[in-house]
């Protein structure tokens, strides 16, 4: 059994923690809350003064978020009751329900609340503190601050410095996203998605209602700014935005997420759905699994237990991540006329009714298995067989970590 190193010789005045968490986003705060609740000494650091600010995310969560965390009234900007998907030649797939399908959330308020909960559970929080490196159980930060920590969790987003420090494999597949907010009272509670290689290669563009603003956004695998400018022009958006932000969105999980006494969670681990780019729901789920592994390892003083995190997240969310990536690879392999075909098949009543009942943007596995049992749903898609056959090798090759993505 490999035990944790207990103390740092000759540095008796240095602060000592059971667990250091780098990054106070939803994943870091969730892990911190659960570990601190069990009585362990936890430090959370974030380089920003106010984590969650500026908001670099649309904050669109499916209603599944309520199965893992409550949302406060002041965090909800809009309830989403439908989606409108436009194909390259503007063929329309529309789905509207009476039931709320998702929420647009103010990430600044949401992130601050999660961090407060971590603090109330006993975690120490240090903002404006940039993690630099970790060596022989000592973490070094900006401003000359150092601490000793038995375990370190990298919750520091897709450009994780923790992952680099520990030599984790790179995130193989990622895109860039930009969002712009325009002050305007939204007229509808639906999101609009625009699929086309010419509009947003490698992902899609969108329009989302946000209480008193409308958000335009885009994700692409190249030249994001140029594609976004073109998209805005096509929508006749010429005024100055109230805010512009963005960032990297991982589309594929890292090959490894545990090394020695270090774990990666959330975007740092690549726990993002490749279909929509959403990472908050899965990040929170994985953070809870990581917290359990950390508490178990500390309690039994056995570093090897940390590896159960990777086994467990793969069991709980691995299949959905894989199906989401398979769907993304398939969509990315289609040319614009094949996307047109896909959208017109999907807009048939039988498919729309099925999606109203079983559609789930977080957990495609459930939806795919339900569809397999109903030939009426998948038979129309047989028209896409030539495209599927043409692209099958591309899709499989881009799934496998051992082959070049
Ligand atoms: C344009 C765009 C739109 C998106 N829209 C959605 C959406 O609608 N729904 C959804 O679910 N997801 C969305 N996402 C993804 C979502 O933002 C992430 O999945 C989510 O924020 C991940 O949470 P996290 O806690 O893992 O990391 P983050 O929220 O990225 O938090 C990481 C934290 O680490 C800190 N940090 C980084 N480096 C250091 C360091 N060296 N030292 C100290 N601190 C450090 C950062 O300051 C940050 O606060 C979007 C992303 C983008 C880019």
Atom 52 in ligand 1: residue holding the nearest Cα: 57
Q: What is the pLDDT of residue 318?
A: 94
DSSP class per residue in 287-340? HHHHHHHHHHHHHHT-GGGGGHHHHHHIIIIIHHHHHHHHHHHHHHH--HHHHH
DSSP label at residue 64: T
Give yes or no for residue 270 CB within 6 A of ligand 1.
Answer: no
Distance 268 CA to ligand 1 centre (A): 9
pLDDT in tens, the chain (405 residues): 778 776 555 556 799 999 999 999 999 999 999 999 999 999 999 999 998 888 889 999 998 899 999 999 999 999 999 999 999 999 998 988 888 999 999 999 999 999 999 999 999 999 999 999 999 999 999 999 999 999 999 999 999 999 999 999 999 999 999 999 999 999 899 999 999 999 999 999 999 999 999 999 999 999 999 999 999 999 999 899 999 999 999 999 999 999 999 999 999 999 999 999 999 999 999 999 999 999 999 999 999 999 999 999 999 999 989 989 988 988 998 999 999 998 888 888 887 787 777 776 666 667 777 777 787 777 777 777 777 777 777 777 667 654 443
d(CA 162, CA 183): 38
Give yes or no for residue 24 CB within 6 A of ligand 1.
Answer: yes
Q: What is the pLDDT of residue 361?
A: 64
Q: Which CATH superfamily is domain 16-53+107-171+254-322 in?
A: FAD/NAD(P)-binding domain (3.50.50.60)
Which class is 60-106+173-250 in CATH? alpha beta
Atom 11 in ligand 1: residue holding the nearest Cα: 278
Give yes or no for residue 250 CB within 6 A of ligand 1.
Answer: no
Domain boundaries, the chain: 16-53+107-171+254-322, 60-106+173-250, 327-397
Residue 56 CA from chain centroid, whole number: 12
Give yes or no for residue 126 CB within 6 A of ligand 1.
Answer: no
DSSP class per residue in 100-132? --EEEE-HHHHHHHHHHHHHHTT-EEE-S--EE
Q: What is the pLDDT of residue 405?
A: 37
Residue count of the chain, please give it: 405
Give yes or no for residue 141 CB within 6 A of ligand 1.
Answer: no
Q: Which two tokens stand for residue 63?
A: 């209603």
Atom 4 in ligand 1: residue holding the nearest Cα: 57
């Amino acid at each position: 059994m490999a035990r944790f190193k207990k103390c740092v010789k000759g540095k008796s005045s240095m602060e000592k923690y059971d667990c250091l968490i780098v990054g106070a986003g939803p994943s870091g705060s969730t892990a911190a809350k659960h570990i601190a609740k069990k009585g362990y000494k936890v430090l959370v650091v974030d380089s920003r003064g106010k984590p969650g600010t500026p908001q670099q995310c649309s904050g669109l969560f499916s209603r599944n978020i309520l199965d893992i965390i409550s949302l406060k009234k002041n965090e909800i900007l809009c309830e989403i009751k439908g989606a409108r998907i436009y194909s390259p030649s503007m063929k329309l797939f529309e789905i509207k329900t009476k039931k709320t399908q998702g929420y647009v959330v103010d990430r600044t308020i949401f992130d601050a609340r999660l961090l407060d909960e971590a603090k109330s559970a006993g975690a120490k929080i240090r903002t404006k503190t940039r993690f630099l490196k970790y060596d022989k159980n000592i973490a070094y930060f900006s401003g000359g601050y150092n601490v000793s920590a038995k375990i370190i969790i990298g919750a520091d987003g897709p450009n994780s410095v923790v992952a680099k420090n520990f030599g984790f494999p790179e995130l193989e597949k990622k895109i860039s996203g930009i969002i712009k907010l325009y002050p305007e009272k939204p007229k509808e509670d639906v999101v609009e998605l625009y699929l086309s290689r010419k509009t947003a290669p490698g992902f899609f563009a969108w329009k989302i209602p946000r209480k008193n603003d409308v958000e335009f956004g885009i994700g692409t695998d190249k030249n994001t700014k140029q594609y976004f400018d073109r998209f805005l022009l096509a929508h006749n958006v010429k005024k100055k935005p109230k805010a512009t932000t963005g960032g990297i969105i991982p589309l594929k999980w890292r090959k490894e997420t545990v090394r020695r006494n270090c774990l990666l969670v959330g975007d740092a681990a690549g726990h993002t759905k490749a279909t929509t780019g959403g990472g908050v729901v899965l990040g929170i789920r994985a953070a809870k699994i990581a917290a359990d592994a950390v508490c178990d390892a500390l309690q039994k003083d056995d570093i090897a237990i940390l590896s159960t995190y990777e086994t467990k997240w793969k069991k709980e969310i691995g299949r959905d991540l894989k199906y989401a990536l398979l769907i993304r690879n398939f969509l990315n392999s289609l040319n614009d006329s094949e996307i047109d075909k896909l959208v017109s098949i999907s807009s048939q009543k039988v498919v729309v009714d099925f999606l109203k009942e079983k559609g789930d943007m977080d957990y495609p596995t459930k939806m795919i298995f339900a569809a397999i049992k109903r030939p009426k749903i998948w038979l129309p898609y047989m028209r896409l067989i030539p495209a599927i056959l043409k692209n099958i090798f591309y899709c499989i090759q881009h799934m496998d970590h051992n082959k070049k993505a």
